[in-house]
Amino acid sequence: EPVSGQVIYLNAGISKFPLLKEYLVREVGFAEKEVGLIYSGISAARKEKVKEDFNQGEIKVVIGSATIKEGIDLQNRSTVLYN
């Protein structure tokens, strides 16, 4: 059974997302494909793919902007929400 994931809601601006992802991969030990990004600049199809991968347990951490509050259901797999 897939492990539940974590959602990080960042209000600091999307310019910080790659830095946080790099930290999670290099220092914490997540695989590159286990960290997904959701923000207003990506396509609806890409957002849907991140959501599906998260809910299936393939993505362990989602870093998102206010866009994650707009109809994207990540609650079934998330155990921790950081703001």
DSSP count for the chain of H helices, then E strands: 2, 4
Contact (Cβ atoms closer than 8 angstroms) between residue 28 and residue 50: no
In this prediction, what percent of the chain has a pLDDT beyond 70?
Answer: 77
Position 71 confidence tier, pLDDT thresholds 50, 70, 90: low
Contact (Cβ atoms closer than 8 angstroms) between residue 78 and residue 5: yes
pLDDT exceeds cutoff 80 at 72: no
Contact (Cβ atoms closer than 8 angstroms) between residue 10 and residue 20: yes
**Bridging pattern class, strands 61-64 and 35-38:** parallel
Q: What is the pTM of this model?
A: 0.82
Give the model confidence (pLDDT) of 15-52 as tens digits: 889 999 999 999 999 999 999 999 888 898 998 899 89
pLDDT score for 70? 66
Q: Which two tokens stand for residue 44?
A: 């609806």
